[in-house]
């Protein structure tokens, strides 16, 4: 029997969950800069839908405060087919401006690795540190569930760093009145079929399933069974 590779998309992270995570970080993280850095990374994922790798590799010089754009070079862009000047809303610009003023040491990176600076290295936060920062706080809050066990026998959870990007895609889809093309544009998906973008549409799928279930089992049945 051929073992099929499991591929399951993560759940979206809700606004309520995000608020709990921010409060938990503020309460438990003793290093004020690390707490501020981690919260800002999560906000960039939640409100902008950036990929985790794009967030970690942002340089301060990539942010144009005058034009309110974020430059995403091709090497940091998963698609690698163009360079992006990504628009930043006013409230993100304000948050970034305040955050940068409070970075306690000189660095080229928006989200620098804190401990490496003591070894005279200026590098962005490592992907494992980024993921661990999220997983640990989500676990403490009881948000994590094992979705499946991968081929290496490791548990894969319902919430990951990509849950922020999925939330953004789902939010855009609703705001654009279920226009998949506009949603794809915001997620920077370039396949004409929008097949990839459809994986980010969670709310619409849940609503559609409920509608289909009601077609199968109309509400009158419950009255007959009682």
- For residue 129, is it within any domain? yes
59 falls within a domain? yes
What mean pLDDT comes out for the span 9-23?
Answer: 95
- 154 assigned to some structural domain: no
**Do 43 and 91 have their domain in common?**
yes
**For residue range 25-68, what is the model confidence (pLDDT) as tens digits?**
999 999 999 999 999 999 999 999 999 999 999 999 999 999 99
Q: Which residues pair with 85 in a beta bridge?
A: 71
Instruction: Kindly report, residue by residue over 185-203, the tens digit of the pLDDT.
Output: 999 998 889 999 998 988 7
Same domain, 132 and 198: no
Q: What percent of the chain has pLDDT over 90?
A: 66
**Whether 120 and 207 share a structural domain:** no
Tell me, yes or no, whether 72 and 134 share the same domain.
yes
**Which domain range does residue 118 map to?**
15-140
**What pLDDT is recorded for position 204?**
73
Q: What is the CATH number of the domain that holds 21?
A: 1.10.443.10
Within a domain: 99: yes
- CB burial class (10 A; 0-12, 13-18, 19+) of residue 165? buried
Structure token digits, residue 160: 């990951």
Report the domain count for the chain. Answer: 2
* Band (2; pLDDT cuts 50, 70, 90): very low
- Does residue 76 share a domain with residue 20? yes
24 with 135, same domain: the answer is yes
Q: Are residues 33 and 82 in the same domain?
A: yes
Pair (184, 130) in one structural domain: no
Asked whether residue 216 is domain-assigned, the answer is yes
Q: Band of the pLDDT at 83, cuts 50, 70, 90?
A: low
178 domain-assigned: yes
Banded model confidence at residue 77, pLDDT cuts 50, 70, 90: low
Say what the pTM is. 0.87
Q: What is the mean pLDDT of the chain?
A: 88
Express each pLDDT in 90-142 by its tens digit.
999 999 999 999 999 999 999 999 987 777 789 999 999 999 999 999 999 99
Non-local (6+) Cβ contacts of 161 within 8 A are 45, 52, 130, 131, 134
Q: Which of 9-23, 78-92, 166-180 has the lowest mean pLDDT?
A: 78-92
Task: Say how far apart CA 203 and CA 180 lie, in whole Å.
Answer: 13
173 neighbors 204 (Cβ within 8 angstroms): yes
Same domain membership, residue 109 and residue 48: yes
Kindly state the percentage of the chain with pLDDT values over 70.
89
Number of Cβ within 10 Å of residue 95's Cβ equals: 17
């Amino acid at each position: 029997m051929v073992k099929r590779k499991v591929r399951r998309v993560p759940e979206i992270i809700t606004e309520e969950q995000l608020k709990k995570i921010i409060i938990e970080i503020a309460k438990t993280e003793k290093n004020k800069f690390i707490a501020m850095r981690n919260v800002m990374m999560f906000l960039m994922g939640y409100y902008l839908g950036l990929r985790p790798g794009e967030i970690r590799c942002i340089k301060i010089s990539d942010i144009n405060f005058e034009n309110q754009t974020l430059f995403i070079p091709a090497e940091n862009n998963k698609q690698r087919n163009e360079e992006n000047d990504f628009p930043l809303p006013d409230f993100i610009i304000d948050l970034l401006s305040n955050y940068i003023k409070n970075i306690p040491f000189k660095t080229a990176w928006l989200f620098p690795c804190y401990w490496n600076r003591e070894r005279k290295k200026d590098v962005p936060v490592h992907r494992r540190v980024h993921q661990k920062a999220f997983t640990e706080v989500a676990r403490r809050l009881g948000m994590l569930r094992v979705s499946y066990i991968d081929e290496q026998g490791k548990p894969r959870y319902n919430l990951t760093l990509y849950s922020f990007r999925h939330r953004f895609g789902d939010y855009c889809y609703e705001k654009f009145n279920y226009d998949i093309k506009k949603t794809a544009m915001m997620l920077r998906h370039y396949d004409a079929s929008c097949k990839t973008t459809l994986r980010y549409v969670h709310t619409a799928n849940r609503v559609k399933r409920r509608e289909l279930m009601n077609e199968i089992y109309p509400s009158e049945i419950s009255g007959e069974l009682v």
